[in-house]
């Protein structure tokens, strides 16, 4: 705090800028608006490269782009008003021209700056001044997928069939004769965002379908491994099963890592899509479905498929980890049993060696005593004969003392060689 005035939070500017990010552009009562949705490559720096190319394009027109936290940039050409928007993983190029503008791919909006971006959606919205869409325009839509709904409590109307034309643009007709200029501009933006997020929300569906066989294969392999787990009776078999489980864990982890971001983004785009549809405040007509009903019937099952695949991967990973944990416990118990048996064998061997040592010690005492008595008999032969003492009696008397002395000497040697 400086002089009683609090210091701004470091994020205050970003929070305030977010309120005004991507402002609504005011549109006239009749015009033709097109939008391209381009997904950029997943490599790091791809979006920055796209922005750099766009900045170079504007620089050639004599305009130096300002730094904008919203990443939305608008400019005028001779015939069009163009807006580029840079999102997290995609770019939208929106341009507005006269109602009879027939050029779908103009060369003055900077398309060459897209680079490696891939087209995900293309929209054309014809804004007309009527309160309702004329029948001659409705007849050009496919009846099988016709969507016709009143919006803004019946003050405007929207129609489409979601069928791309020869240039891959999906056509919408938007009648806004009963709303103000600001509300018309807001409705147009919401309609563009509905189609934008509809396309982006379903990017994970092809991946989910492609991953389904791999997930099924891993589920079957895990079932086979778990069925054989009960028949695992030795450490070698347990190690083989554990290796198989670790391979499955690595495969499922790689698949989840590859799909996780796409599925999370799909959920986020789906939430935004539902919010934009609610903002249209639709009501049904007798000639077609509402956008909310039609899109919901197509997008929600796709998002549910992605969610189901993600859930299957989560369950699969959980089963694998639990199986690895159980097998680790099994291997640990087996190792403890083996170690206990090994220690028991070592103890038995040590006891046998101890008994053998005692036996050898006893036999050695007897043998040494025998030979020592023999030597003593030679030493005492002369004196015993001189004094007429009985040699046998003398050796009998000496024998216990000799055996005791030899035994004590052997015991002292054994103790001297003990570690403690």
Per-residue pLDDT of the chain (420 residues; tens, 9 = 90+): 555 677 777 776 666 665 556 677 899 999 999 999 999 998 888 888 898 899 999 898 888 877 665 688 899 999 999 999 999 899 999 999 999 999 999 989 999 999 889 999 999 999 999 999 999 999 999 999 999 999 988 899 999 999 999 999 999 999 999 999 999 999 999 999 999 999 999 999 999 999 999 999 999 988 888 877 767 667 677 778 888 888 888 999 899 989 999 999 999 999 999 999 999 999 988 888 999 999 999 999 999 999 999 999 999 998 888 888 777 777 676 667 777 778 777 878 767 776 666 666 666 777 777 777 777 776 766 776 666 777 677 767 777 877 777 777 777 776 766 655
Query: How far is residue 237's CA from residue 317's CA, in Å, rounded to a whole number?
Result: 22
Structure tokens at 365: 């005492």
Query: How far is residue 92's CA from residue 38's CA, in Å, rounded to a whole number?
Result: 6
Query: How far is residue 313's CA from residue 264's CA, in Å, rounded to a whole number?
Result: 14
Query: How far is residue 119's CA from residue 252's CA, in Å, rounded to a whole number?
Result: 30
What b-and-e string marks burial along 78-117, b requiring 16 or more CB atoms within 10 Å of the CB? eebbbbbbbbebbbbbbbbbeeebeeeebeebbeebbeeb
Query: How far is residue 284's CA from residue 178's CA, in Å, rounded to a whole number?
Result: 17
Contact 50, 114 (CB under 8 A): yes
The rounded Cα 73 to chain-centroid distance in angstroms is 34
Length of the chain: 420
Structure tokens at 138: 């409705």
Structure tokens at 398: 């000496």
State phi, psi for 405 to the nearest 5 degrees: -65, -45
E strand intervals along 166-248: 170-175
Quickly tell me which residue has 């369950």 as its tokens.
315
The CA angle 324-329-330, to the nearest 5 degrees, is: 95
The tens digit of pLDDT for each residue in 77-118 reads 999 999 999 998 999 999 999 999 999 999 899 999 998 899
Please list the residues that pair with 38 across neighbouring strands.
Answer: 91, 119
Parallel/antiparallel/unpaired status of strands 118-128 and 147-151? unpaired
What pLDDT, on the 0 to 100 scale, is given for residue 225? 82
Q: How far is CA 121 from CA 129, 205, 260, 405, in A?
A: 26, 15, 23, 108
């Amino acid at each position: 705090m400086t002089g009683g005035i609090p210091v701004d939070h470091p994020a205050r500017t970003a929070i305030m800028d977010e309120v005004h990010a991507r402002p609504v552009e005011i549109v006239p009562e009749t015009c033709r608006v097109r939008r391209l949705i381009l997904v950029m490559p997943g490599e790091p720096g791809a979006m920055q490269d796209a922005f750099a190319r766009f900045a170079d394009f504007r620089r050639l027109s004599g305009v130096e782009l300002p730094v904008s936290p919203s990443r939305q940039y608008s400019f005028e050409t001779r015939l069009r008003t163009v807006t580029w928007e840079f999102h997290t993983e995609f770019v939208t190029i929106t341009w507005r021209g006269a109602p009879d503008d027939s050029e779908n791919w103009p060369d003055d909006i900077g398309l060459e700056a897209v680079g490696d971006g891939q087209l995900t959606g293309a929209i054309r919205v014809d804004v007309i001044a009527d309160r309702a869409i004329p029948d001659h325009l409705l007849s050009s839509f496919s009846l099988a997928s016709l969507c016709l709904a009143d919006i803004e409590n019946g003050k405007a109307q929207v129609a489409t069939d979601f069928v791309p034309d020869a240039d891959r643009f999906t056509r919408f007709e938007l009648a806004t004769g009963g709303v103000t200029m600001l509300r018309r501009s807001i409705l147009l933006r919401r309609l563009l965002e509905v189609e934008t997020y509809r396309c982006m929300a379903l990017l994970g569906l092809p991946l989910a379908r492609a991953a389904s066989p791999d997930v099924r294969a891993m589920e079957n392999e895990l079932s086979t491994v778990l069925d054989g787990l009960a028949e695992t009776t030795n450490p070698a078999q347990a190690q083989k099963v554990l290796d198989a489980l670790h391979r499955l864990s690595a495969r499922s982890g790689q698949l989840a890592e590859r799909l996780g971001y796409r599925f999370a983004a799909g959920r986020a785009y789906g939430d935004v899509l539902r919010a934009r549809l609610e903002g249209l405040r639709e009501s049904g007509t007798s000639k077609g479905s509402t956008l909310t009903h039609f899109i919901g019937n197509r997008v929600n099952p796709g998002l549910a498929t992605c969610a189901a695949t993600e859930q299957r991967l989560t369950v699969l990973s959980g089963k694998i980890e639990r199986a690895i944990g159980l097998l680790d416990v099994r291997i640990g118990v087996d190792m403890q049993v083996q170690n206990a048996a090994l220690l028991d064998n070592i103890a038995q061997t040590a006891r046998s060696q101890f008994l053998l040592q005692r036996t050898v010690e006893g036999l050695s005492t007897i043998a040494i005593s025998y030979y020592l008595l023999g030597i003593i008999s030679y030493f005492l032969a002369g004196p015993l004969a001189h004094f007429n003492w009985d040699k046998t009696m003398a050796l009998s008397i000496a024998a216990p003392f000799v055996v005791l002395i030899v035994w004590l000497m052997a015991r002292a040697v054994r103790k001297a060689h003990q570690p403690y």
